[in-house]
């Protein structure tokens, strides 16, 4: 009987260890990804700091690189950009955004690739299919950033678009609120098309959408794609 107990304990410990390793495998992909609310993220790697769409920041760490997806006020906040900018901070965005930016800046458009602050950045399209808020002809952007060997896709404000079929990424940050972007159901469909190792909901809890949208997104992907709801960092 004692031997059986020992064997069962060993099996349970091994199972727990394997689950931890499997979980840690995909959770490790998020160790440098910090959600700051709405569509705002901070990515850290190699001692460098990237902000994407900084908005209503609670704290401000100086950025090496700032990526702005488009000029809507909840993505392009000059006040927040000033808080995190230093003499060497580079702001990368589309033409409409950079008209309101001074200092180091680089204009991009969907389809461009660049290296900035030691990071590889690919500019990808972001637009609406069945809404008027983000027309394709406006040339708004999403970004794929390679940081610490991990390919991270920030979708910007978008619907499920054909270009997603060609994306190869480890982490997908996808809007889920509906109204201006994909609904949580549509975002789950986008994750199934992209097939990242981890999918993270964004664009909720502030301008539009709620935690219910994030929960539904995760539930829709259960057993299909690893979905993680990040806690908003201060």
Quote the pTM value.
Answer: 0.87
- Quick: pLDDT tens for 121-157: 999 999 999 899 999 999 999 999 999 899 999 999 9
Domains of the chain, by residue range, sit at 30-220
Euclidean distance between CA atoms 176 and 83, whole angstroms: 28
The torsion angles phi and psi of 113, rounded to 5 degrees, stand at: -130, 140
Q: Sign of the CA dihedral 137, 117, 226, 200?
A: negative
CA angle 70, 50, 36 (to 5 degrees): 75
- Quick: pLDDT tens for 8-46: 344 344 333 333 333 447 788 888 899 999 999 999 988
Structure tokens at 63: 């950025």
- Quick: pLDDT tens for 48-91: 999 999 999 988 899 999 999 999 999 999 999 999 999 999 99
Structure tokens at 30: 């998020």
Q: Which residues contact 126 (CB under 8 A, 6 or more apart)?
A: 69, 70, 110, 134, 140, 141, 142, 155, 156, 157, 158, 161
Confirm or reject CATH 3.60.15.10 for domain 30-220, answering yes or no: yes
- In this prediction, residue 29 carries a pLDDT of 83
Structure tokens at 62: 């100086």
The torsion angles phi and psi of 232, rounded to 5 degrees, stand at: -65, 130
| pLDDT range class, residue 2, cuts 50, 70, 90 | very low
């Amino acid at each position: 009987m004692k031997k059986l107990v020992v064997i069962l304990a060993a099996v349970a410990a091994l199972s727990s260890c394997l689950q931890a390793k499997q979980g840690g495998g995909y959770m490790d992909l998020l160790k440098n990804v910090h959600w700051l609310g709405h569509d705002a993220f901070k990515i850290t790697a190699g001692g460098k700091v990237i902000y994407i769409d900084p908005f209503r920041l609670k704290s401000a760490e100086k950025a090496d690189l700032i990526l702005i997806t488009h000029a809507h006020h909840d993505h392009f906040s000059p006040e927040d950009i000033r808080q995190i900018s230093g003499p060497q901070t580079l702001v990368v965005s589309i033409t409409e955004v950079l008209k309101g930016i001074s200092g180091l800046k680089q204009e991009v458009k969907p389809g461009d690739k660049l290296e900035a602050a030691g990071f590889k950045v690919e500019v990808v399209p972001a637009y609406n299919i069945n809404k008027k808020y983000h027309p394709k002809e406006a040339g708004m952007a999403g970004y794929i950033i390679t940081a610490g060997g991990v390919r991270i896709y920030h979708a910007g404000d978008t619907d499920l678009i054909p270009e997603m079929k060609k994306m190869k990424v480890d982490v997908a940050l996808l809007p889920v609120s509906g109204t201006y972007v994909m609904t949580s159901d549509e975002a789950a469909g986008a994750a199934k098309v992209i097939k990242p190792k981890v999918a993270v909901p964004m664009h909720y809890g502030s301008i539009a959408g709620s935690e219910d949208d994030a929960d539904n997104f995760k539930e829709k992907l259960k057993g299909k794609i690893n979905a993680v709801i990040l806690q908003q960092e201060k």
